[in-house]
Amino acid sequence: MRDTAKHQGLRNQLVTVLQQKGITDRNVLEAIKKIPRHLFLNSGFEDFAYQDKAFPIGAGQTISQPYTVAFQSELLQVKKDDKVLEIGTGSGYQTAVLCMMGAKVYSVERQNELFKSTSLLLPKLGIRPKQLSFGDGYKGLPNFAPFDSIIVTAGAPFIPQPLMAQLKIGGRLVIPLGEDVQVMTLLIRKNETQFEKHEFGDFRFVPLLEDKN
């Protein structure tokens, strides 16, 4: 679990790249500056960990590119102690960014191998989400709802109804929507029945699978 001055230097460079790509949220940039992304990757990728690229992490999943993590995190507008539901824990890197931003994170992962490895890794790094769950992300976590915001880190063909129901009024849901290429989509809940929708260009994600535990 080594994190060296060289790693820190590479993180500082990564933050500069993200700023050049338009990320402005100080909270997001500070979190990315602090979190040792190389520890979330297979050691074979360590030398590439601070490039703005996605990498495989096992179970057919990927760790999203840092720009995507930063972009989604920025859209959430996280405030300290916000309750955030994350669908797709994956490597735990996005989880760590949200925790570092001051969120109380409830995360769901449907791949048991990833769920186990991430549950072990995060505490070693001093990162403590409120809840890591193994289960179907389409269902969310109704027992812990409502949430200030919800982030989905896999491409979805549609917005799962249970997730919309678990969002607070005024809350923000960030989800990549689409089959092959996804459009980053933000829903803001206006009242019991109305949501305001914003779209932010194309991204590529692994698919969000339903009932595949």
- Provide the 8-state DSSP code for 143: G
Are the CB atoms for 48 and 72 separated by under 8 Å?
no
Confirm whether 64 is a catalytic residue. yes
Residues 6+ apart with CB under 8 A from 176: 152, 154, 155, 156, 182, 183, 184, 185, 203, 205
Give how far the C-alpha of residue 194 lies from the chain's centroid of Cα atoms, to the nearest Å: 25
Q: Which residues pair with 139 in a beta bridge?
A: none
Question: Which one is catalytic: 43, 64, 91, 107?
Answer: 64
Strands 167-177 and 147-152: parallel
> What single letter denotes the amino acid at residue 187?
L
Is 20 in a helix, a strand, or coil? helix
Are the CB atoms for 148 and 171 separated by under 8 Å?
yes
- CA 6, CA 1: separation in Å to the nearest integer? 14
Residues 6+ apart with CB under 8 A from 36: 3, 7, 11, 125
Which positions are annotated as active-site residues? 64
